[in-house]
Structure 1
Amino acid sequence: MSVENPPGLDLQRLHAYLDEVRPGLVTGPLTGELIEGGRSNLTYSVTDGTTRWVVRRPPLGHVLPTAHDMAREYRVISALADTDVPVPAVVALCEDTSVIGARFYIMEFVPGTPLRRADQLASRGPHRTRDIALRLIDTLAALHSVDPAAVGLADFGRPHGFLERQVRRWGKQLDASRSRDLPGIDELRARLADTVPESGAAAIVHGDYRLDNVLVDTDDRITAVLDWEMSTLGDPLTDLGLMLVYFSDEILATPGPSDVHRAPGFPTTDELIARYAERSGRDISRLDWYTGLAFFKLAVILEGIHYRYVQGKTVGSNFEYIGQVVPVLVEGGLARLSA
């Protein structure tokens, strides 16, 4: 029987690989589909008719240096398995690019829904909405409380000079994807570099923490934190700053935006910050800088996606609008640094 392959995933070769590394795991022909919603790594739902798994691989086409590291995602998810941070169980990591054309890893399917829209929360009511948002904060604080050495991640990053390197890194990523004039983005980059705060204690940083990067079940529990491709050791307030950008009105300029913060019952920004400060015990007095950095980082990421789009190397819809969002994010970053 012929099975149609989703873009970027050869199901027959995947089946053969799993038969080799996990004999007996797959009990029938594989079918699969691309899970829509991602703008970076490609995520697939795959099943043999009995069990379902999730496969992650890098995007097709242009890939920025140091990005889309499958082994890194696999390692951090494995390390967090026995902590208070909910993550899927891992199945296998394949670094042989001859199998499907790229490195990839496989993890167990976890029930739950990534909540991207206010109406998804509104249907649960204001009290449940508030609880979900606070659990999101509590899960972030739990992640930042994990001792990296205790879970085998002592060498997962270089915390010293982390913030300075973040500004440089995203500046280099910008240069690697620069294909047009972007007013204000170089000013934002320079102001961040000139005003770097002193970091507190290092922690495991997710790198893209938001409500639609976790799964929430029907009982409002967070069942899994996903999308660890940017994880490292560093300043945990970068996670908080980025999450606040995702809950800002500027994000509503994006195509298919996550507007969850507009749902009735969703806590205010001040309430979210206070909850994190209480649960983590960290100093948040320079949070505007971290939010400015988050605007810069997100602008650079979207510019990279725009770069791939204009080359015709993206899979999915709405990419034609990504480039229009970048200037809005640049303005948001400059505004936060001037606050």
Structure 2
Amino acid sequence: MTDLEGLDLIALDRHLREAGIPRTGELRAELISGGRSNLTFAVSDDASRWVLRRPPLHGLTPSAHDMAREYRVVAALAGTSVPVAPAVTMSNDDSVLGAPFQMVEYVPGRVIRTSRELAALGDRATIEACVDELIKVLAELHSVHPDSVGLGDFGKPNGYLERQVRRWGSQWDLVKRADDACDADVARLHAKLAEAVPPQSRTAIVHGDYRIDNTILHEEDPAKVVAVLDWELSTLGDPLSDAALMCVYRHPTFRLVNSDAAWACELIPAADELAHKYSLAAGQSLDHWDFYMALAYFKLAIIGAGIAYRAREGGGAEAADRLADALAPLIAAGLAELS
């Protein structure tokens, strides 16, 4: 067994055996590329393969890497119309790996991260069918009644939008630089959002970061999602917030964060068309859509600032600078929604 930073294979092997999880041969692991938040590892023995996620090694912020929540929602959604990886085990303390972690079965398929990988799926009709499937899966998630899968207490059913505005404003205070030139505009958008909070459209299980690269597509049929990934921000909330963030990722502003991101590629329909497709798939009107879009810009900006914060803490100055450059346009786009 050869350890990777953040993954003690001997301790993990002991945990798996104590948990009664069948084991065959020596554990092996590799760091899976992609994802700048939680660390994700592929772990295998001679008979099985799993995926393990744990918080990053540097720059942790409170409540941003809740392994127990992620594991609970994946386990709860098993057997529903929402495709998820089968849950295996978790630890909600640092007794095994020095940090909480959760582990699911490996699901084979394609994770589309770049515009090149998106184009390789096929012609425009194939990509459109893939987008329609992605939106259908999101709508199906929002149609799952929380009580029916044991998630009735997964979050507070009311006041989600107010909490989101407060939470991401508080996150900014934790990750901003002391001399950040955007501080005044962030505060202005935060205040505008707080003043414009509409009534919650309804309560549903929300993913919190839904886009193509947080899913696994079928290896041979890209119009089939075989698993939705990265549930660390999931909770009970307003489904329109999920839909709006999906649309904001398509906005050209996101190219400042990742110029080659699949969801920002022109092969994906524009934000307005994605919103319309979601409205039809979910059977839900887009009332107060300007607020939801502004909140999504605000959230994505603060997520980017948090990643930049962790990059600075870990010595990744280049990534931090690129993410910092995207902050002002994202905040400006949010302000424009509420102007």
Aligned counterpart in structure 1 of residue 15 of structure 2, from 5, 17, 21: 17
Q: State the 1:125 CA deviation.
A: 1.2
Give the conservation status (yes or no) of the 8 Å contact 1:254–1:325. Answer: yes
Give the conservation status (yes or no) of the 8 Å contact 1:177–1:303. Answer: yes
Aligned residue for 2:117? Answer: 120
List per-residue Cα deviations over 1:96-128 (Å, max 9, x = no partner): 412111011110001122212222222211111
Aligned counterpart in structure 2 of residue 45 of structure 1, from 42, 45, 51: 42
SS class of match (1:132): helix
Aligned residue for 1:223? Answer: 226
SS class of match (1:102): coil
Q: 1:182 to 1:135 in 2, by over 3 A?
A: farther
Kindly report which structure 2 residues correspond to 1:87-102, keeping only aligned pairs within 5 A, or say none: 87-102=84-99
Q: Tell me the TM-score normalized by structure 2.
A: 0.93
Q: Which moved more, 1:32-41 or 1:320-329?
A: 320-329
Give the conservation status (yes or no) of the 8 Å contact 1:10–1:100. Answer: yes
Q: 1:36 to 1:29 in 2, by over 3 A?
A: same
Give the conservation status (yes or no) of the 8 Å contact 1:61–1:313. Answer: no
SS class of match (1:26): coil
Kindly report which structure 2 residues correspond to 1:156-175, keeping only aligned pairs within 5 A, or say none: 156-175=154-173
SS class of match (2:88): strand
Q: 1:235 to 1:262 in 2, by over 3 A?
A: same
Alpha-carbon distance in structure 2 between the residues aligned to 1:238 and 1:304: 20
Give the conservation status (yes or no) of the 8 Å contact 1:121–1:263. Answer: no
Alpha-carbon distance in structure 1 between the residues aligned to 2:275 and 2:299: 20
Gaps of at least 5 residues in structure 1 are: none
List per-residue Cα deviations over 1:50-69 (Å, max 9, x = no partner): 31100010111222112211
Q: Which moved more, 1:278-287 or 1:206-215?
A: 278-287
Aligned residue for 1:197? Answer: 198
- Code of the aligned partner of 2:156: R
Alpha-carbon distance in structure 2 between the residues aligned to 1:317 and 1:56: 25
Q: 1:161 to 1:226 in 2, by over 3 A?
A: same
Number of aligned residue pairs: give it.
333
Q: State the 1:86 CA deviation.
A: 0.2
Q: State the 1:267 CA deviation.
A: 2.9
- Code of the aligned partner of 1:51: S
Give the conservation status (yes or no) of the 8 Å contact 1:35–1:43. Answer: yes
Alpha-carbon distance in structure 1 between the residues aligned to 2:320 and 2:83: 31
Establish whether residue 80 from structure 1 lines up as the match of residue 83 from structure 2: no
Alpha-carbon distance in structure 1 between the residues aligned to 2:327 and 2:290: 19
- Code of the aligned partner of 1:113: R
Q: Please provide the CA RMSD for this pair.
A: 1.8
Q: Tell me the TM-score normalized by structure 1.
A: 0.93
Alpha-carbon distance in structure 2 between the residues aligned to 1:261 and 1:167: 25
Alpha-carbon distance in structure 2 between the residues aligned to 1:312 and 1:151: 39
Give the conservation status (yes or no) of the 8 Å contact 1:62–1:313. Answer: no
Kindly report which structure 2 residues correspond to 1:1-339, keeping only aligned pairs within 5 A, or say none: 3-23=1-21, 25-123=22-120, 124-180=122-178, 181-183=180-182, 184-217=185-218, 218-220=220-222, 221-255=224-258, 257-264=260-267, 266-312=268-314, 318-338=319-339
Alpha-carbon distance in structure 1 between the residues aligned to 2:93 and 2:256: 39
Q: 1:31 to 1:317 in 2, by over 3 A?
A: farther
Q: 1:63 to 1:260 in 2, by over 3 A?
A: closer
Q: State the 1:322 CA deviation.
A: 2.2
Identity of aligned residues (%): 46
Give the conservation status (yes or no) of the 8 Å contact 1:205–1:239. Answer: yes
Alpha-carbon distance in structure 2 between the residues aligned to 1:115 and 1:287: 28
Runs of 4+ in 1 over 6 A off after TM superposition: none
- Code of the aligned partner of 1:13: A
- Code of the aligned partner of 1:17: H
Alpha-carbon distance in structure 2 between the residues aligned to 1:5 and 1:320: 31
Alpha-carbon distance in structure 1 between the residues aligned to 2:103 and 2:203: 29
Give the conservation status (yes or no) of the 8 Å contact 2:9–2:27. Answer: yes
SS class of match (1:29): coil
Alpha-carbon distance in structure 2 between the residues aligned to 1:249 and 1:267: 12
Gaps of at least 5 residues in structure 2 are: none
Alpha-carbon distance in structure 2 between the residues aligned to 1:286 and 1:257: 31
Q: State the 1:261 CA deviation.
A: 4.5
Q: 1:195 to 1:166 in 2, by over 3 A?
A: same
List per-residue Cα deviations over 1:203-246 (Å, max 9, x = no partner): 00100011110111221110100000000101011101100111
Q: Which moved more, 1:147-156 or 1:286-295?
A: 286-295
